[in-house]
Amino acid sequence: MLGNFDYVRAESVEHGCALLARTPGAAVLAGGTDLLVNIRNKAISPTLLVDFKGINEMGGIAFTDGVRIGANVPLNAIAEDQRIKTAYHALFEAATAVATYQVRNRATLAGNLGNASPAADTAPPLFVLDAHVEISGPDGTRRIPVRDLPVGVKKTALAPDEVITAVTLPPLATGVRTKFVKKQRIKGHDLAIINMAGYYDPSSGELRIAIGSCAPTPVLLPPLPEPVRRDDPLDDLTAALNRIAQEAVSPIDDLRASAAYRREMIPVFLRRILTALLHEGED
């Protein structure tokens, strides 16, 4: 027995949010791969789990203008979607980097964001892709940028009676490249020591970088003052971004790595990302 709590399948988003609103200690159950572990470890003891998985409007991957990924979509469904692999490559790479194959059959993108771990692998790609979360509550639906969702370690901008119903990504300009990289202690299942995502639009020269596991929340770096060109010297670019990044992060020592190691890894991973974004596919 994991704990002493009740369980209800929400019949609709409204029904589920009403339950969250009127039940002190209620929690949203998505894939459960973080929530149930936290209950087992007695880190939390919710009184009621509200399961939104049966709700149609919170499922499915819909390509319209950009893409809408329902909150109930498991990470493997994202990793196996060829359209996402092609259009939003960094998100594909991050989705396959989370935990293990079995866990990804349950764990959801929305859950990875809602859990608000500083190490959430899917957060840096969604930051650079300018993704939004669709949030429903008793007062209706609102949209906020994914980068505004986490406000601290395991803390989000969600009210207790709100639930993420979808993640939306804008369409990308032709030629845009995205890349995700992750440093972990072992090749298999491990949380990130550092993770990083990049976005580069060769036509405008816009470069975006987001770094995870190096601050209480993932960090979207402020932009470089000048557009980035493919033939900019890699050393100079890495150094310029590293200066910005070192200001923006505040890593800690933990069981996975020291703060100093994380700072040392930032330029290493910046260079890898820049190489992939600017030079991959060249002779």
Partner 1 sequence: MEQLIHITVNGTKEEARVPAGMTLLEFLRERLYLTGAKEGCGSGECGACTVILDGKAVTSCLVLAVEADGKEVWTVEGEASDGKLSAIQQAFIDEGAVQCGFCTPGMIMSARALLMRNPHPNDDEILEAMSGNLCRCTGYEPILAAVRRAAQQESEDVQDER
Task: Give the binding site for partner 1 (CB under 8 A).
Answer: 1-7, 29, 32-33, 36-37, 40-41, 49, 51, 53, 76, 99-103, 105-106, 188-189
Contact yes or no for 253/259 (Cβ under 8 A): yes
Helices within 98-200 (DSSP H only): 101-104, 109-114, 123-128
- CB of 225 vs partner 1, minimal distance in Å: 42
Nearest CB to partner 1, comparing residues 115 and 217:
115
Nearer to partner 1 by C-beta: 53 or 271?
A: 53
Name the residue nearer to partner 1 (CB basis): 98 or 131: 98
Question: Cα separation of 224 and 206, whole Å?
Answer: 8
**Exposure letters 261-270 (e unless 16+ CB within 10 A, then b):** ebbebbbebb
In the bound state with partner 1, the residue whose beta carbon lies nearer, of 49 and 164, is 49
The nearest distance, CB 32 to partner 1, in angstroms, is 6
DSSP string, 171-190: PPPTT-EEEEEEE-SSSSS-
Q: How far is the CB of 184 from partner 1 (least distance, A)?
A: 13
Taking the complex as a whole, the smallest distance from the CB of residue 25 to partner 1 amounts, in Å, to 14
Q: How far is the CB of 124 from partner 1 (least distance, A)?
A: 22
200: tokens are: 């580069």
Nearest to partner 1 of 187, 236 (CB atom): 187
